[in-house]
Amino acid sequence: MADTTSAAGGARPPRKHTWNTTDLPGLSGRTAVITGANSGIGFAAADALARAGAHVVLAVRDPERGRAAASRISGSTEVRRLDLADLASVRDFAASWTAPLDLLINNAGVMMLPKQRTKDGFETQFGTNHLGHFALTNLLLPRVTGRVVTVSSSAHRWGRVRIDFDDLNQDAGYTPQRAYAQSKLANLLFTLELQRRLTESGSPVRAVAAHPGWAATNLQNHTANPVVRAVMQFGNRFLAQDDRAGALPTLYAATQDLPGASYVGPSGPAEMRGAPTLVGRTPAASDPETARRLWTVSEELTGVRFPLTAGV
C-alpha cells in the first residue's frame, strides 16, 4: 500500500507491550488484495483492513465461499476468483487487474497434504504456497504502489530444512511435513530476493513477511497424517490463539514502518502467540545466494519474470 510512514529502514517497532487492530492507521482510499481471504487469518485480516477503511479484494478459489465471507465483513469488499494451484488462473486474475494496488497479501496456503500435484504438475504445497504467489506477485507488481506481505511459518525451522533444488517436487521420499516446511522457507527466500530487486530497481515498494504463530484455523484439519491432525486439533483447542490474534503479524507487517525484507511474528514464547514484533529466521532463510537461485528456478518453472517496472 502507499506508505504513510517514513522511508524504509528508518524505524523500529513501537515500544509498547501490545498491538491490536485498534492501532491500525486509517486506510480510506487504499486497496488491498488478500489471497485465501474467505477463512482463517486471511478473513480476519480482510475484516480488519476493511474496518479501517480499505477496499479489500478477497482473492479466493471458491467465489461462493468468498461471497459468504464478504457478507460478514463491515466495509468495502469485492470477490474475485483465484486458484494459486493453476497458473492460468493466476494469469487471468492478474490480467484483469488494471487499477493501482496499495497492498498485496500473499496469505493463502495448504498444509501437510498427501502427495498431490497442481494443475501445472508441481507438488501441491510448493506449487501453491510458493510458485502461485511468486507468479501472482510478479504479474501484479507493475500495479503495486505500497507493499507485498507474504505469510510464511515457523515451520521453515523444522529439521534444518533446505530447498531441494534436485527434487523440488520431492518425488524421492515425499513427506507432507518436509514439503510444507520447504514451501514456507521458499516464502522467506522469495521475500528476501524480491526486496533486493525492488531496491535495485529504485522502487518504493517494500516486501515483508509474517507468520501467525499457532493460530486455530481450519488449515490444520487437512493434514495427511491422522496422528498429526489429532495433535494439531488438540493444540488448536488448548494452546493456540484465535484467528484474529493470528492475523495481527500480517496486519502489522502490512501497515507499520518496517525495513524491507522484515519478518514479523508473535512476541511470546517460541513465537506461538503474543503481540506482533520483528522476529528472526534461520540461516537457510537468510541466504541471498539461495534466494537468487530459487528466484531463477521459479521464473523458469512459471514462465513469469520480475517486471521491468515494479511499483514505480
Q: What is the DSSP string of 92-109?
A: HHHHT--S-EEEEEE---
Helix (H, G, I), strand (E, B) or coil at 210: strand
> Which one of 174, 180, 252, 263 is the catalytic residue?
180
**What are the residues facing 34 on neighbouring strands?**
58, 105
Instruction: Kindly give, in sequence order, each residue whose CB lies less than 8 Å from that of residue 240, ignoring residues fewer than 6 positions away.
Output: 214, 215, 216, 246, 272, 273
Determine contact, residues 10/257, Cβ cutoff 8 Å: yes
Q: Is 174 a catalytic residue?
A: no
- For 306, other C-beta atoms within 10 Å of its C-beta total 16
- For 105, other C-beta atoms within 10 Å of its C-beta total 31
Among the residues of the chain, which ranges form H helices?
A: 40-51, 63-70, 87-95, 124-125, 133-140, 176-201, 226-238, 243-246, 248-255, 288-302
Helix (H, G, I), strand (E, B) or coil at 14: coil
Cell numbers given for 288? 541471498
Whole-angstrom distance, CA of residue 210 vs CA of residue 22: 19
Describe the chain by its helix, strand, coil percentages, rounded to 5. 45, 15, 40
Instruction: Kindly give, in sequence order, each residue whose CB lies less than 8 Å from that of residue 157, ignoring residues fewer than 6 positions away.
Output: 181, 282
Residues annotated as catalytic (active site), given as ranges: 180
